[in-house]
Amino acid sequence: MSIKYAERMNEAKPSFIRESLKYPADPSIISFAGGNPDADHFPVKAIKDASVHVFENDGASALQYAITEGYVPLRVSILAHMSGRGVDASIDNIAILSGSQQGLDLTGKAFIDKDDVVIIESPSYMGAINAFKYYQPKFIETAMDENGMDMDDLEAKLKANPRAKFIYTIPDFQNPTGRTMSLERRQRIVELAEKYEVIIVEDSPYYDLRFSGQKLPPIKHFDKAGKVVYLGSMSKILCPAMRVGWVLASEEIVNNYVVLKQATDLHTNELGQRIISKYLINEDLDEHIVEINEAYRVKRDIMLKILDEEFPKEIKHTCPAGGLFVWLILPDSYDAQEIFSKAMKEEKVCFVPGDTFYPYGGHKNTIRLSFASMRDEQIIEGMKRLARVMHTYTSSEAYL
C-alpha cells in the first residue's frame, strides 16, 4: 500500500542547491553554486575560545532547556548591532531563530492560508519560495531592475491582489541577483505596505556584506506602523553551522512567531547561542566584517573582470555592491540547465541555473554565480572554464 501524505507534499522536491551539497565534492570541480560563505575566514580560534569560556562559566546551564525567545545576552548584543544599522528596538521585539530560514517557515505558518497571495521579487531566493510553498500560497512576481523591486509594478500587483498577505524582499545584494533596493524605494515600499495593509518581510542576511558604495538604512528603519518583519542571520557574517538567526518585529508579531516556534523546535540550540553571545562580547564583529568584505571584494572583482573580458558579449550580468552573488542574463535562446550539464561534464565547473529562483520556473536563460566560497585562483580558473563553455555553446547548434 502507498502512504497518504498531506496535499502540500505534492510540491515536495529537494532543492537543487541542498542536493548538490550532499555528495562528497570532487576536488577538481570548481563550484559557483552554493551560497556558502568563505570558510577560510571563519574565526575558528575565537569561536573555540568563546566555547571554552561558556563551558567554564556557565557549566550545566548551557546544556539545559532554555526559553523559546532566545538567550537574553545574545538578544541584547544583536539589538546593539541592529541599532548600528539604524533600527532601534527593545528586547521584546527580538527572538532568536534556528537560522533566518526558520523565520521564513514561521512567516509562512503565521500568515499564509491556502490560496493567499505572497508577493516576491522576480527572481527570488529559492529557500524562501520553498519555505512558503508548503503553506500553499499563490506567488505573484514583481519586476526588478538595478534598483531592486519596481514600485509601480508592486503597487499594480497589490491593487490586483486583495489576498496579498505579505511582500517578501531581500533589499541588500539580493539572492540571486546581487541587486540592492534604492533608498527612495525603501521608503515607498513602506508606504505601499501601509496603504494596502500588507506585511513586508525584509530578509537581510547579507546587509553587512557591502564592499562598495554607501550603506542604506534597512526598510525596517522606515517602519512606523509595525508592518515590517526583519529577518537577520549570523550565517554570512560569522558562520552558519550553529544556525542562529533572528526576527525583529513588533511585539505582537514576535510573540506569534515565538508561540509557533515553541511548537516547531522548542528553542534554538542554547550552546550555540551562548558561544556566539560570548564571541560578540569578547571580539569585534565589525572588524571581522571589514576583513571578510575586503576578501569578498577581491573575489567579486575577479569574477566581474573575467565576465567582462572573456565571456560572450551578449551575456549580461549584474554588478553587485556586496553580498555573494552575480546574476547572468543570457540571450533568450540559451538553456542554463543544458549549459549546466555541459559545464559539469566538460569543464567540471558548477553554478545554479536561474529557473530555480522562479516559483513557476521559466527564465531558462539565467544563471546565479556565487563568488564567495572559492579561492581567488579557483575563481580565475573556474570562470575561464565557464567562458569556454559559453563560447562553445554560442557556436553550437543549440544556440542557432
Give the cell for residue 172. Answer: 541588500
Closest to a second copy by CB, 39 or 398 = 39
Question: Is the sign of the CA dihedral 102, 107, 109, 113 positive or negative?
Answer: negative
Q: Which of 29, 67, 76, 143 is in the footprint of a second copy by CB under 8 A? A: 67
Q: Which of 25, 26, 57, 61 is in the footprint of a second copy by CB under 8 A? A: 61
For the segment 230-269, give every residue that binds a second copy (CB under 8 A). 235, 239-243, 252-253, 255-256, 258-260, 262-269
Closest to a second copy by CB, 95 or 389 = 95
For the segment 144-203, give every residue that binds a second copy (CB under 8 A). 165, 197, 199
Residue 111 as a binder of a second copy (CB under 8 A): the answer is: yes
Nearest residue to 253 via CA among 373, 109, 136: 109
Count of residues in contact with a second copy, rule CB under 8 A: 86
Residue 99 as a binder of a second copy (CB under 8 A): the answer is: yes
Closest to a second copy by CB, 37 or 320 = 37
Mark the segment that binds a second copy (CB under 8 A) among 37-45, 145-153, 278-286, 323-331: 37-45
CB atoms within 10 A of CB 319: 14
Provide the residue count of the chain: 400
Question: Is the sign of the CA dihedral 150, 156, 162, 163 positive or negative?
Answer: negative
**378-392 burial, b for 16+ CB within 10 Å, e for fewer?**
bbbbbbebbbebbee
Least distance in Å: CB of 353 to a second copy? Answer: 18
Give the integer Cα–Cα distance in Å for 171 and 185.
Answer: 10
Mark the segment that binds a second copy (CB under 8 A) among 65-73, 167-175, 324-332, 374-382: 65-73
Each residue 265-284 as x (binds a second copy by CB under 8 A) or -, in order, gives xxxxxxxx--x---------
What is the CB-side half-sphere exposure of residue 393 using CA atoms within 13 A?
A: 26
